[in-house]
Structure 1
Amino acid sequence: MAVGHTSARTRARTRSLLVVTLAVGLVLSTAGCAPEKSTPSHAPSPSFSSGYHTPPATAIAPLRGTTVPAGSLDHASIAAKIDNHPAARPQVGLESTDIVYQELVEGGLTRYVAVWQSTIPDLLGPVRSIRPMDPDIVSPLGGIICYSGGQQRFVDLMRKTPVYNAIHGQPDTASTFFRTPTRAAPHNVLVKAKELLAQHASIPAPAQQFAFSLDVPSSTAAKDGARTAAINYAFSGVTNGSWTWDAAKGAFLRSQGSGPDLDGAGAQLSATNVVVIRVTVTDDHDVPKTNLIGSGEAWISSGGGTVHATWSKASATDPIRLIDGTGATVRLAAGNTWIELVPSAGSVSFVAPA
């Protein structure tokens, strides 16, 4: 009995050992089938590019309303009293102006206050003496005003404005004003505009003077105005002119008297916007004075259209405001502007397309 019992126990241990051996083998077999661990790769991941580039920053040209690179016009404007006597034509630099004001002076003639800021020419002129309305024109601009002198009372008024006075014959303009030998005096004083601006780099840029649209078609006159083929004006029995719409060039072309008004290269002067302002003119000791502090009737022409408006100017340092018949601010087209300060004794008319 004892032997049999021992044999049974031996057989039981043998079976248990076999089960354990089989289990261990299964575990080892399973472990041997496990995938090897991957070695981390140090190759660079593929880069991704969306193709989008941040556009350069832009700004609005304060006197033209055009889009320009940011910071490119962080400098003063240069205004100048420009001669419009026939002996002074063609003037130098008028083709690159931002704004030109035409005003009545003695003898029924006119002169300009021309303003440059978006593009400063090498030379401008010929410059002449100032008149009593000029401080009201240039005060909103700040910047620099160039002229060749004038009656002391008018010079004193100009010196009281927030504008740097650059006057021919003064020590500070000896290197930038000169008389050209190609013209007869007094129609021959020119200004080295870029050099003058460089001498006054600390003077800030002007404030925006008018409201502008993004383009010509969205300007007030182009959208809402009457179609206009030509603008005819007369300052006096001596001075008259016209602006003719040229659709191909997208601008009004200027004429004086009986012929085209040309620049130094022989091209006809042009304007994106023509603003006609009816003004009263009073006599200041035999000097005509255009009265700009107040309000009156105006017409704004852009994109081949003309809209009727009201102009107003509250003080010498305020810009001219233009309001249409609905009470909305008139938006000029982005580009250059000529402002005709036509006396109430003068005339203006608008010609519709045929």
Structure 2
Amino acid sequence: MRMPARSRWMAAVGVLAALALASGCAAERELPVPTATPEYVPVFEEPEPYALAPLTGEQVAVDALDHPSIAAKIDNNINARPQIGLGRADIVYEILVEGGATRHIAVWHSDIPDEIGPIRSVRPVDPDIVSPLGGIIAYSGGQYRFVVAMQNAPVYNAIHGQADTAETIFRGTNAPAPHNVIVRAPQIVAQQRKLDPPPQLFAFAESVAAATATKEGSPTARIGLQFSVGNTPAWEWNAESERWVRFMHGGAVDRDASGDQLAAVNVVTLRVPVQVIQSIPTVGLRGSGEAWVSTGGATVRAQWSKSGLTDTIRLIDEHGVAVRLAPGNTWVELVPLAGDVSFRAP
């Protein structure tokens, strides 16, 4: 017996409703069960403390350089080359001596080689250079008046031939005498560890890009220096290493005993007066004068000044603002007023 039309319609609606209810229940069972979101707890890590190396402006671990610097009067005679440890010095000063030649005062603090040298005798300007550092100066002797002046400076004098340097300053086999006096630098530093570390000598930027010369200077490919007619060292910019690389008179590559070419992050060139007193060129480093600072392939003009024995050399730009060097090693060229300085653009 056939169902009435209304009954068939109601039955169909019921079936559809049941299917929908079943489908909804299935869908509800398939939904993922929500989980609680964990609370975010930020983690803060304390940065490692650091200090700035006073002679290079580089970041170092706190107390890593809690020891004195050691400076040495380094021979620059042709028979003394290549010098030992010169490429690892924080600062190197080049100074005119007799016969138009030059010698160096090199300073090590952040990286002290096992041996440095060869060392030679002191000259009148040397106390002005090393007194701001304190620490140690190693040399082979000199004229009595120059040795007395150095002994009166606020530094420990490590002199070849003294009883207390018998084990630390010796004649090596690198060259014939007098170009063979070598210093065991770490041992002397350990013996004089009670001495204070050096102060900061220059103003430093945080990077090469932030240094004054890099930002404001004129692009420079080559720095030419004339200490005398027969002594014309030079620096050339090496973009790959971001260093100035050094050449001797005549264009030969200047290397140290490691075989590496001598290089510098900063080259500071000072024009200084020189008087010949009793046959000795006497460099004046108290007063003021013209200067250039070369960093990052560029050079900026400056004025240098130094007042007293223990005062540092100040470098001020044309606006009266301190010139900031880049972190790294520095060569300071004390070029006589009678000499010459030139800068070649790329």
In which range does the TM-score fall when normalised by the shorter chain?
0.7 to 0.9
The separation in 1 between residues aligned to 2:230 and 2:195, in whole angstroms, is 39
Distance 2:199 2:269 in 1: 22
Match of 1:119 among 103, 106, 111: 111
Q: 1:91 aligned to 2:83?
A: yes
Match of 1:320 among 309, 313, 317: 313
The equivalent of 2:15 in structure 1 is none
1:265, CA displacement in angstroms? 2.2
1:200 to 188, 192, 204: 192
Given the alignment of the two structures, is residue 220 of structure 1 paired with residue 184 of structure 2, yes or no? Answer: no
Correspondent of 2:229 among 220, 237, 243: 237
Amino acid in structure 2 at the alignment position of 1:105: V
Q: Which amino acid aligns with 1:283?
A: V
The one-letter code of the counterpart of 2:120 is: R
8 Å CA contact 2:97, 2:281 repeated in 1: yes
Distance 1:90 1:49, change over 3 A: farther
Preserved contact between residue 225 and residue 341 of structure 2 (Cα < 8 Å): yes
Determine helix, strand or coil for the equivalent of 1:326: coil
Contact 2:84 2:258 in 1 (8 A): no
Task: Quote how far apart the aligned CAs of 1:155 are.
Answer: 0.5
Q: Of 322, 325, 330, which aligns to 1:329?
A: 322
> What is the SS of the residue equivalent to 2:79?
helix
- State which of 92, 102, 111 in structure 2 corresponds to 1:110: 102
Q: SS of 1:259's equivalent?
A: coil
Deviation at 1:266, TM superposition (A): 1.6
**Can you give the 5+ residue segments of structure 2 that lack an aligned partner in the other structure?**
1-37
Structure 1 stretch 249-258 or stretch 47-56: which is displaced more? Answer: 47-56
Q: Secondary structure at the match of 2:335?
A: strand
The aligned residue for residue 283 of structure 1 is 276
Partner of 1:155: 147
Structure 1 position 57, deviation (Å): 1.1
* Pair 1:173 & 2:165 matched: yes
Q: CA contact under 8 A between 2:270 and 2:335: conserved in structure 1?
A: yes
Q: CA deviation at 1:283?
A: 1.4
Give runs of aligned pairs for residues 2-41 of structure 1, distance below 5 A: none
Of structures 1 and 2, the larger Rg is shown by 1
Partners in 1 of 2:54 and 2:214 — Cα distance? 21
Q: Which residue of 2 aligns with 1:132?
A: 124
Question: In the alignment, does 2:261 pair up with 1:260?
Answer: no
Question: How many equivalent residue pairs?
Answer: 308
Residue 119 of structure 1: CA displacement? Answer: 0.5
CA drift of 1:168 comes to 0.2
Amino acid in the other structure paired with 1:348:
V
Which SS does the other structure have where 2:233 is aligned?
A: strand
Which secondary structure does the structure 2 equivalent of 1:275 belong to?
A: strand
- Structure 1 unaligned spans of 5+: 1-45
How many angstroms apart in 2 are the aligned matches of 1:165 and 1:61?
23
Deviations 1:202-244 (A, max 9, x none): 0110010000000000000000000000100110012111100
Structure 2 length normalisation: TM-score? Answer: 0.87
Q: Whole-Å Cα distance in 1 between the matches of residues 100 and 120 of structure 2?
A: 16
Measured after TM superposition, the shift of residue 277 of structure 1 is 0.2
Query: What do residues 107-128 of structure 1 show as CA deviations (whole Å, max 9, x unaligned)?
Result: 0000000000010110000000
Alpha-carbon offset, residue 47 of structure 1: 11
* % identical aligned pairs: 55
Distance 1:152 1:228 in 2: 43
Deviation (angstroms), 1:53 = 2.3
Q: Secondary structure, in 3 states, of the residue corresponding to 1:79?
A: strand
